[in-house]
Structure formats: structure tokens, C-alpha cells
């Protein structure tokens, strides 16, 4: 397929789109819809992964990587989103990004519904439930990206930089359990449109070394996206979610300060340690170490005032293996040693 043929095909309804248009039209008349349903070849529908909400067996619990590719290292597919397909809540095991090439589409995630316009580019991470509706023959181009492709690219020192996309991808390499997405507003940018068309051609034709060329286009597209449109990005519900999550993480550090590590927090919230460190700093204004030390020192002060435990035991109970390290940290914070602090507050502790 050449570029002219591809552009022509974007404006023509394919076999699946004709099927879905028939589905949408027949639903307007109960009798016609029942007749249409009776005419279906269920096995063929299942084989083609056709979605029919009235037939539970066609509704997958999740959209799987295996529907589109067998090799996760080369897991990148660029294709047109089917017009008229029924909108339904679903999540996928891969990253999905879609670009409104022409027209509009309706998108809902986290209980928030938006009408996306031409040039809007939305990224949905694995495990996030959402629904999308493309009607009136609008053209929406979809990128299906395996987590392995994202990791190979954004963990590569050549590509990784501290920016909106890197933070988003690294945070969501595993199911984050959040309801977030990322939305860029690019308008009618012919350069981005052309890059997407070239990516589609490579994805469809699969000529020699197509995967390397597709990866290069992928980096180029996201590089241009950041260069020109990073300031347009929005994350539905992000501030509300961040405030709640930042509180939960801070409380968790305080509650488990005796043995907590950054890796444990990252594992619990399904983030990477690098992202977790940055996220804590950006949402609380403090580092992980600052929050941890404050929790340990408050506990130590309480023990110094209310018990006669040796300083070495107090150090151990609040999370320090090395007593000297505990004393040094305590002195820096209170301008006195633990023993000196206890003497100054001798009336407060229980003998």
C-alpha cells in the first residue's frame, strides 16, 4: 500500500465499519435489530474480535496484546479506529494512544467525558478503564504500544529525559490503578499528521527493517509532540487524584517508618522507584528522606520523653541500625544529642 492508497482508505468504510454501521442502524428498530442479531455468525464474530454488547461472549474482560501482535519487543501497531463501533467500558494490557485526524470523537475515563477535536492526542495506560465513540465517519488513528516497547524506549539513556511523557510512561509501565490519561492539543499540525501516516504505512506494509523505522518515527513523533505541545497537556482528574495519593503515601511512610524504603513504596503503588521519588517531591514539596526522617525523629522524641530505653534501643526501634547515624541525624535536627534532649525534658519521661 502506498501513501495515496492509505489516505483514500481512511475515508472509506472497511468491512468491520460497515458491520458496525449496520449494527447501529438496526438498533433503531427492535424488530429489525432482532432480525439482524439472528443473522449473525457468532463464531465469525469471535474470530474477528467483533464487539457486540448484547452478546456477552464477544465482550473480552480486557483488550489483550495478543489481539494485535505476538512479539512484545516489536509490539507497535498503528491503525484506524473503527467508526460506528459500540462504545463500552474496557481496559487493555498495552498502552493505547489515539489521534483525532479529522472530525471529533467522544472519550470517557474516570467518570469524565470529553469531546475531542481534530489534533487532540490522548494516551491511555494499561489497566485504565475508558470508552471511546467514533461516529459520523470521523477519522481517529490508534497507536497500540506494548509496555516492552515503552520500556525499551523510555529507559534508554538516549531517549529518557525528565519530561511529561517520560514521567507518564515510566510511572505507568505497570498497572498503576489510577484513572489518569494524558491529553495533548495539537490542532491541525500537518507535520504530525504526516509522521502518523508514515508510521501507518510501516505498520501495514511491514517491509524489511520496518520495526526499526517504525521505532524511529515513534521517537520523532513524541519528540515533536514535546517540543511544540508539552504546554498544552492536561490530565483529567490529576490534581484531585494527586492530592489524595500524596496524602496516602505520606501517611504510609509515617506509619511504616521503621523499615520503609523507596522501593517498597514504588512496589505498593506500582510505580518505578525513580518516578516515586520524583512524584513525592513534586506533590508534597519534600523528599522521601525528609518525610522519613521527620517520622523517625518524632517517634524518637516520644520515646526519649516517655521511656528510659537506652539510646541504642531507641535508635533501633525508630529504624536505625547504626546508633551513631541516629545520633548524628538527631543532633542536626534538634541541635542537641538524644541524651541531652532527654535531660532537658527529664520531667516528661517515665522512669
The yes or no reply on domain 238-351 and CATH 1.10.10.60 is: yes
pLDDT for the residue 276: 87
pLDDT for the residue 238: 56
pLDDT for the residue 148: 82
Pick out the chain residues at pLDDT < 70: 65, 69-74, 154-161, 174-179, 236-244, 346-351
pLDDT digits (tens, 9 = 90+) for 41-90: 999 998 888 999 899 998 887 777 677 765 555 678 899 999 999 988 88
pLDDT for the residue 196: 95
CA–CA dist 137, 24 (Å, integer): 13
Quote the pTM value: 0.65
Domain boundaries, the chain: 61-232, 238-351
pLDDT for the residue 349: 40
pLDDT for the residue 348: 44
**CATH number for the domain running over 61-232:** 2.60.120.280
Amino acid at each position: 500500500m502506498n501513501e495515496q492508497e492509505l489516505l483514500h482508505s481512511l475515508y472509506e468504510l472497511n468491512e468491520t465499519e460497515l458491520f458496525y454501521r449496520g449494527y447501529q442502524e438496526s438498533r433503531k428498530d427492535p424488530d429489525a435489530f432482532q432480525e439482524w442479531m439472528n443473522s449473525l455468525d457468532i463464531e465469525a464474530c469471535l474470530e474477528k474480535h467483533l464487539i457486540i454488547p448484547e452478546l456477552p461472549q464477544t465482550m473480552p474482560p480486557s483488550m489483550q496484546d495478543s489481539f494485535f501482535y505476538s512479539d512484545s519487543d516489536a509490539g507497535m501497531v498503528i491503525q484506524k479506529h473503527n467508526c460506528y463501533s459500540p462504545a463500552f467500558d474496557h481496559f487493555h494490557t498495552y498502552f493505547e494512544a489515539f489521534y483525532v485526524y479529522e472530525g471529533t470523537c467522544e472519550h470517557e475515563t474516570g467518570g469524565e467525558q470529553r469531546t475531542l477535536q481534530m489534533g487532540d492526542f490522548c494516551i491511555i495506560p494499561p489497566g485504565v478503564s475508558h470508552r471511546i465513540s467514533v461516529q459520523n465517519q470521523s477519522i481517529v488513528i490508534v497507536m497500540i504500544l506494548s509496555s516492552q516497547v515503552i520500556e525499551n524506549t523510555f529507559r534508554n539513556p538516549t531517549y529518557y529525559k525528565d519530561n511529561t511523557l517520560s514521567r507518564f510512561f515510566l510511572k505507568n509501565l505497570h498497572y498503576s490503578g489510577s484513572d489518569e490519561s494524558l491529553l495533548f492539543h495539537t490542532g491541525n499540525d500537518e507535520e504530525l499528521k504526516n509522521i502518523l501516516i508514515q508510521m501507518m504505512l510501516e505498520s501495514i506494509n511491514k517491509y524489511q527493517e520496518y520495526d526499526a523505522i517504525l521505532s524511529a518515527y515513534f521517537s520523532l513523533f513524541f519528540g515533536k509532540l514535546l517540543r511544540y505541545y508539552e504546554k498544552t497537556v492536561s490530565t483529567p482528574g490529576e490534581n484531585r487524584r494527586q492530592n489524595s495519593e500524596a496524602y496516602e503515601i505520606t501517611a504510609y511512610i509515617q506509619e511504616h517508618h521503621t523499615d520503609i524504603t523507596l522501593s517498597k513504596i514504588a512496589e505498593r503503588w506500582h510505580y518505578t522507584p525513580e518516578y516515586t521519588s520524583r512524584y513525592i517531591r513534586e506533590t508534597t514539596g519534600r523528599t522521601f528522606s525528609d518525610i522519613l526522617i521527620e517520622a523517625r525523629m518524632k517517634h524518637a522524641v516520644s520515646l526519649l520523653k516517655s521511656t528510659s530505653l537506652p539510646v541504642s534501643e531507641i535508635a533501633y526501634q525508630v529504624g536505625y541500625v547504626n546508633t551513631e547515624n541516629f545520633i548524628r541525624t538527631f543532633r542536626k535536627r534538634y541541635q542537641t544529642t538524644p541524651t541531652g534532649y532527654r535531660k532537658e525534658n527529664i520531667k516528661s519521661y517515665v522512669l
